[in-house]
Structure 1
């Protein structure tokens, strides 16, 4: 998984069974060699062999994991390898944009099984109408899932600003009807009866689209994902962990003022990076938009010592070479020692669906790797 800096720690306290179950599932999902033995799972979690045996027996009975062979003998008894059954569960990932919505159904391994889009989004109806639309899309995804697969949750990546903790949008530019609308709560209520079976975790998770897109391509170190579509924002993985800020609204990258008397932005300020990029694009000049984006990226690298810049959004994919070249050039031109600060610039490997892919990963990571999106907490027996 790559997002935690200390060993995942379990607990043998009664009442935290679901935490430990998710911990084991997460380790099996992350196993690079296709699975792990019970001995390995005990070592990685700190749980007793007896606790691991009980958890894995339950997961085998529920069909979420399976036996996948044995380890090679080194003189002792070969150990049974346990592996995740990807088809046993699923998650729904959604990109909720201004004018369109993309829906993905993914299995437990994060592989997309079904994808489609609809011409409806934040700006095409009232919040209540949009929630009804989203619920219908989720139900269609569940209907398309393999028979018996368990829905682990629904992740939504939406335009900010928003509050990750409360699940509310907060004064999104140009969308006043959405201010303080409880999107996560409203969608969860619409999905009553289509929830998660057996795991104690939120059914619906809402995050900024740039954050979910950053999660679609996790890495060690510090990565900034820059998203240029109908707006401009950033998602930041700092030391492998999503940085949301004190109000969970970090990443309003497009609203840094870079020209004091520049064009009016939808946020009400003048000279925002987003306004300058959009003005250039409106004039049919992606080269200028790319240079502005590169200047903002250089500022971000200087501020946070970013290792890697990922680019995404439909504006980027319309002229990828233009943006890749301009962003790399601006970063190199504004760093005092570009050889020392070697910053890699590339398109997001998750492609045009990065927001929806990351929204699904948000669900799986949260459900199958406790504390994956917050600083790790070690729980011990008292």
Structure 2
């Protein structure tokens, strides 16, 4: 990792380095390395070497992180000459995030710790025709239910944020005012855009010295298009409701101002897969519809209008069947039409043709496949897509709750400077 980038910005006394933001960025770098080191830990000298920070700066950061409960000593490393080095590790139980997947007829919610490991999961039926307010209520119910999996003290801390208990109010956590900025960074994410806000109107109550939220926020993955600036899902093709409803603000209000971040479901899945997949790749999801997400150069690519990856609606047959998006001959309509006829080989071949176009346009390293139809016959789809693309193709990992995990990482990623 290279040296720390210093970004100039306006401070209270004029123009100069934004020290509060810089401290938060540096703390996030250290936290990311602590997470990567796992239980074995990492020494402060190694942290300094990998971040480009001075040993003195690293010592101050680790001291703050320890005071906040986010880091702890993991023992000492055998000496190779000189004083044995103390190693540090992340404390996974220090904070948590909830990830929610809103499927067309099912709601999946997971609770992840700070290291990204699953603590608990819940699956509940979801009425496809439910009003948006009822959907928000169902999500809030599952979030509150998951809090029962937190340690008692942590549940008390988040009780007030979800309308339960008498614990301290939700704040940005340590660093919300720039003291460390690591956990506080996540609190800022869900409040961006026109629906955001950090005062009483935005719902988030100010933190008190020493407060640390056990629940950082809720990430929600929704099907179909999505406006990141406003937190408003668009109308997924074929859906009657949901278009134009401010789901992010409605859900945050039901959770006492807890930060809420939304993204579409394929982007969420790619965010989870990216942790184990270096380089550039495309994730293709074939189920009730066909979606895609792009990770280019290690970063999730959303596009200027956050509509990148509308893979299913590329036209490959001008006189093809009418797609639910209004066009004819889209990859999605052709794939699903073949699948309905039981012609899996044809459906997989069409998927491969579309994937080859994507690979040629973006010069990606590999294609990962997921979704109900792919998992029903993975070998057929992998072989067909590989033959069409000429690059590595594999079944996406991540388990049955991949998308919900990715939704939780919408909250966790900023904590580690991502």
Aligning the two structures, in what range does the TM-score lie when normalised by the shorter sequence? 0.7 to 0.9
Residue 293 (str. 1) matches residue 351 (str. 2): yes
> Does the CA-based 8 Å contact 2:221-2:263 persist in structure 1?
yes
* Corresponding position of 1:237: 295
Deviation by residue 1:149-205 (Cα, 9 ceiling, x = unmatched) = 411221111112112233221232122432222222221221116x4xxxxxxx222
Stretches of structure 2 that go unaligned for 5 or more consecutive residues are 8-16, 155-213
Deviation at 1:82? 0.6
Q: Aligned partners of 2:382 and 2:399: how far apart in 1?
A: 14
1:261–1:188 Cα change, 3 Å:
same
Find the residue that maps to 1:154 and give its secondary structure.
Answer: strand
Deviation at 1:53? 2.6
Q: Aligned partners of 1:14 and 1:29: how far apart in 2?
A: 24
RMSD: 2.2
Query: More displaced, 132-141 or 22-31?
Result: 22-31
Residue 141 (str. 1) matches residue 197 (str. 2): no
Residue 356 (str. 1) matches residue 404 (str. 2): yes
* Bigger relative contact order, structure 1 or 2 (CA pairs below 8 A, ≥6 apart): 1
* Corresponding position of 2:60: 54
* Corresponding position of 1:161: 225
Deviation by residue 1:224-275 (Cα, 9 ceiling, x = unmatched) = 0000111101111111111000111111000001111211111111111111
Q: Aligned partners of 1:35 and 1:211: how far apart in 2?
A: 31
* Corresponding position of 1:281: 339
> Does the CA-based 8 Å contact 1:67-1:80 persist in structure 2?
yes
Find the residue that maps to 1:245 and give its secondary structure.
Answer: coil
Deviation by residue 1:287-334 (Cα, 9 ceiling, x = unmatched) = 2211111111111111111111100111111111221122112224xx
Of residues 309, 320, 328, the one that matches 2:367 is: 309
Of residues 83, 89, 95, the one that matches 1:89 is: 95
Q: Aligned partners of 2:134 and 2:290: how far apart in 1?
A: 26
Find the residue that maps to 2:151 and give its secondary structure.
Answer: coil
Deviation at 1:100? 1.0
Of residues 265, 269, 274, the one that matches 1:209 is: 265
Deviation by residue 1:105-162 (Cα, 9 ceiling, x = unmatched) = 11112111212211116x3301111011111111111221233441122111111211
* Corresponding position of 1:66: 72
Deviation at 1:6? 5.2
* Corresponding position of 2:125: 119
Q: Aligned partners of 1:8 and 1:284: how far apart in 2?
A: 55
Q: Aligned partners of 2:300 and 2:327: how far apart in 1?
A: 27
Q: Aligned partners of 1:88 and 1:279: how far apart in 2?
A: 48
Segments of 4+ in structure 1 off by > 6 A? none
Find the residue that maps to 1:178 and give its secondary structure.
Answer: coil
* Corresponding position of 1:335: none
Q: Aligned partners of 1:41 and 1:79: how far apart in 2?
A: 12
Matches within 5 A, 1:129-278: 129-149=134-154, 150-192=214-256, 195=258, 203-218=259-274, 219-278=277-336
Give the structure-2-normalised TM-score.
0.77
Deviation at 1:23? 3.1
* Corresponding position of 2:14: none
Find the residue that maps to 1:98 and give its secondary structure.
Answer: coil
Stretches of structure 1 that go unaligned for 5 or more consecutive residues are 196-202, 333-342, 373-382
